[in-house]
Amino acid sequence: MPKPLDPATARRLLTRYQFRQAALPDIIQRLGTIQYDPLSPMGNNPDLVLQARVPGYRVDDWQQAAYRDRLLLDGWDKQASLFQPDAWWAQAPFHGWFAQRWRAQGVDVDGDEAQALLKEVADRGPATSLELGDQQSDPGLRGTWYGPKRSRHLLKALWDSGRLVTRHRVAGRHAYDLPERVFPEAVKATPGTESEALRHLILRRVQAVGLLRPKADAAVWLLPCNRKQRDEVAAEAIRAGELAEVDIDGDRYWATPAALELLDQSSEAAAAADASVRFLAPLDPLMWDRTAVARLFGFDYVWEVYKPVRERRWGYYVLPVQWGDRFVARFDGRCQNGELTILAWHWEADINPKQLPDGLPEALTHAARQFMQYLGADRVRLPTGMGKPARQAWQTAKRGLK
């Protein structure tokens, strides 16, 4: 039988699971996967995910973890993502799935053209799409997502299917290399069966969130299998005790044992999470299932970055603001040349901007100071309408920078 939880307990569990502060390697281990997105008005998505959890984190620290320390690798999970190299074996279903999809589009990852490109990488070493291939444009590819160069499409197909990986990035571009040269031990690992790989992918998806609805949107559950097969594999994991079923007001969730264990634990880290303000990434794991966020937290979040300007209600790149286990605000901002500009600040309807709840101004000041340090900003521009207490919190944070 599913374990019953009330929404308040679920909120506390998710907050403590997600936002107990820890060192970067520990957070990588806890989440398992972090969605990548290149937009970077205040750091990109991995930056924002990690700054909410890792004390002292600074913009681009994830790149050192990925490309020097090899704690993360670029690949496909929930969209483009970063995950642990020892999970490379479990990517096999994704690799096969993408190979078939690219063949259907006329790009054969095992054909002569692909083999020539792989040999070029093997001979010259890591390089970006600007150096590899013939660089010729194909009129038939104009207007496509990856541009008109056939070589770029082929490189992406080889990356999607696991023939190439990212060794590092050059101005955001992948520097492609062979897997066996980037993380040889992971490549040599004994592969599992397709069912074992799918089981790992499903467990990792739940692990990233802590509590995740099987009925979450298709974008949340993008996997190289259909939902029937996913549910069959998940049922095996439940029987094995690797997943647990949870019922929250009639909604079914899957949970990791590691998350559920927090219900019976108390710690300073958990208490700190209960009292802190944090600014979340638009694609933070907690925000993936926005229907669940709305039901559990009463917070209706829409990422409007791809909407036309006239259709936006909140702004271009809006970060949710969480205080303990409740959402209190959201703000649109950008950081350039050491100056953070908050373009708009929106309090939730139950917050009085003129008189914030006890404890919130102090927590906001602390969070604002940490956020500016993360960005390397020493100046802040504030919008009108955010209320005097919030304005004072940000101004105090700026003055307290070292």
Give dist(CA 31, CA 11) in Å, integer.
17
Q: For position 265, what pLDDT does the model report?
A: 74
- The two three-digit tokens of residue 246, written as one number: 């949870």
What mean pLDDT comes out for the span 86-105?
Answer: 95
Phi, psi values for residue 329, rounded to 5°: -165, 180
C-beta separation of 342 from 381 below 8 A: yes
Query: Which residues are paired to 332 by β-bridges?
Result: 318, 344
Q: Region 248-273: what's the mean pLDDT?
A: 86
Distance between CA atoms of 75 and 66, rounded to whole angstroms? Answer: 12
Report pLDDT digits (tens) over 198-233.
999 999 999 999 999 999 999 999 999 999 999 999
Contact indicator for 398, 366 with CB cutoff of 8 Å: no
pLDDT digits (tens, 9 = 90+) for 6-17: 999 999 999 999
Residue 253 — pLDDT band, cuts 50, 70, 90? very high
- E-strand ranges in 24-136 read 33-35, 73-77, 79-83
Task: Provide the token pair at 257.
Answer: 């044992």
Q: What is the pLDDT of residues 106-126, one digit of tens each?
A: 899 999 999 999 999 999 999
Q: pTM for this one?
A: 0.95
CA angle 202, 246, 302 (to 5 degrees): 70
Q: Which of 21, 52, 27, 18 is nearest to 279 (CA)?
A: 52
* pLDDT of residue 378 exceeding 90: yes
The answer on pLDDT for 148 being more than 70 is: no
Give, in order, the Cα–Cα distances in Å from 101 to each of 90, 196, 317.
Answer: 19, 22, 32
For residue 117, give every residue at least 6 positions away whose Cβ sits within 8 Å of its Cβ, in sequence order, or none: 132, 133, 151, 154, 155, 158
DSSP-based three-state secondary structure for 291:
helix
What are the sequence ranges of the domains in the chain?
1-266, 302-399
- Structure confidence at residue 153 as a pLDDT band (50, 70, 90): confident
**Three-class secondary structure of residue 324 per DSSP:** coil
Distance CA(343)–CA(177), nearest Å, equals 40
- Using the structure block, give the residue that is written with the tokens 């590691």: 258
Residue 21, token pair as written in the block: 């502060």
H/E element holding 26? Answer: helix 24-31
